[in-house]
């Protein structure tokens, strides 16, 4: 097979985009990056490297560990998926998300699980909130921490969960759970399943609280999750009974739409 032609440098290179891509390559190839090293590699000030890295963190392509090193995030490790069923899901869910955002006055999201991660397929920002959580389309989070991910994982049986989190593959991906931790995780998912809702209190992003529920496919399996994201100053919103009912209603409406569109 003939090799593809070598890509040439674009005539109008955008410096910030090039810097972000270089940081992604560093994360991919080195596994751990300090801001000082990133700044030296990019030949920019540390403050500039930090701003670019924070955008990668925001989009799920990087995470910061306890030693303040940056490592590959779930967005850099997540596998590619077939977008055809996702397009159908988005078309059914979009008007329902818009109504939900209007009803609760907060940002509404549609997520799907891919392995041990969840991806944001769609985001609708509320128009009546001065301070709100922004658009997350395309972002990737760890399913075991995100509200939508927890809601979807709660629908799985223990054997399937063990394959995700107790296997050699899980160890290679950095999501492996030892026996005691896994047992506690399974117990927490039972609570989520019984409630039908999951809450993420700043586990994936400082200052952001999220409430999520699962959308079932006509087959009964988890197809997606609907979540609302609120700033920490309005954390009480996720405990509001009417808001919780609105999220569950949105999930039911999407399920009905998926059944009709088969």
Q: Say whether pLDDT at 74 is over 80.
A: no
Q: Say whether pLDDT at 8 is over 70.
A: no
What is the pLDDT of the chain when averaged over all its residues? Answer: 85
Q: Do residues 185 and 143 make contact, with C-beta atoms less than 8 angstroms apart?
A: no
Q: Do residues 150 and 192 make contact, with C-beta atoms less than 8 angstroms apart?
A: yes
Q: Say whether pLDDT at 77 is over 90.
A: no
Q: What is the pLDDT of residue 2?
A: 46
pLDDT digits (tens, 9 = 90+) for 98-138: 999 999 999 999 999 988 889 888 999 987 765 666 667 77
Mean pLDDT of 31-56: 86
CB-based burial label for 105 (10 Å; 0-12, 13-18, 19+): middle
Q: What is the pLDDT of residue 6?
A: 44
Q: What is the pLDDT of residue 126?
A: 85
Name the pTM for this structure.
0.73
Judged by average pLDDT, the poorest of 102-111, 145-154, 173-182, 236-245 is: 173-182
Q: Which domains does the chain have, with CATH numbers?
A: 15-76 (1.10.10.10), 84-260 (3.30.450.40)
């Amino acid at each position: 097979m003939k090799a593809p032609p070598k890509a040439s440098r674009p005539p109008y290179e955008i410096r910030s985009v090039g810097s972000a891509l270089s940081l992604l390559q560093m994360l991919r190839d080195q596994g751990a990056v300090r801001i000082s090293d990133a700044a030296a590699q990019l030949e920019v000030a540390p403050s500039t490297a930090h701003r670019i890295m924070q955008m990668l963190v925001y989009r799920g392509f990087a995470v910061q560990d306890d030693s303040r090193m940056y490592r590959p995030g779930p967005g850099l490790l997540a596998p590619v998926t077939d977008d055809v069923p996702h397009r159908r899901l988005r078309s059914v869910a979009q008007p329902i998300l818009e109504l939900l955002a209007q009803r609760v006055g907060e940002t509404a999201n549609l997520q799907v699980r891919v392995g041990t991660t969840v991806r944001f397929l769609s985001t609708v920002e509320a128009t009546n909130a001065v301070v709100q959580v922004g658009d997350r389309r395309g972002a990737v989070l760890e399913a075991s921490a995100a509200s939508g991910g927890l809601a979807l994982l709660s629908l799985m049986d223990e054997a399937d969960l063990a394959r995700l989190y107790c296997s050699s593959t899980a160890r290679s991906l950095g999501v492996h759970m030892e026996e005691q931790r896994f047992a506690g995780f399974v117990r927490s998912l039972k609570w989520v399943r019984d409630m039908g809702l999951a809450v993420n209190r700043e586990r994936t992003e400082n200052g952001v609280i999220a409430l999520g529920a699962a959308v079932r496919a006509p087959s009964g399996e988890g197809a997606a999750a609907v979540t609302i994201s609120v700033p920490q100053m309005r954390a009480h919103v996720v405990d509001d009974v009417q808001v919780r009912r609105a999220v569950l209603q949105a999930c039911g409406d999407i399920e009905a739409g998926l059944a009709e569109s088969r």
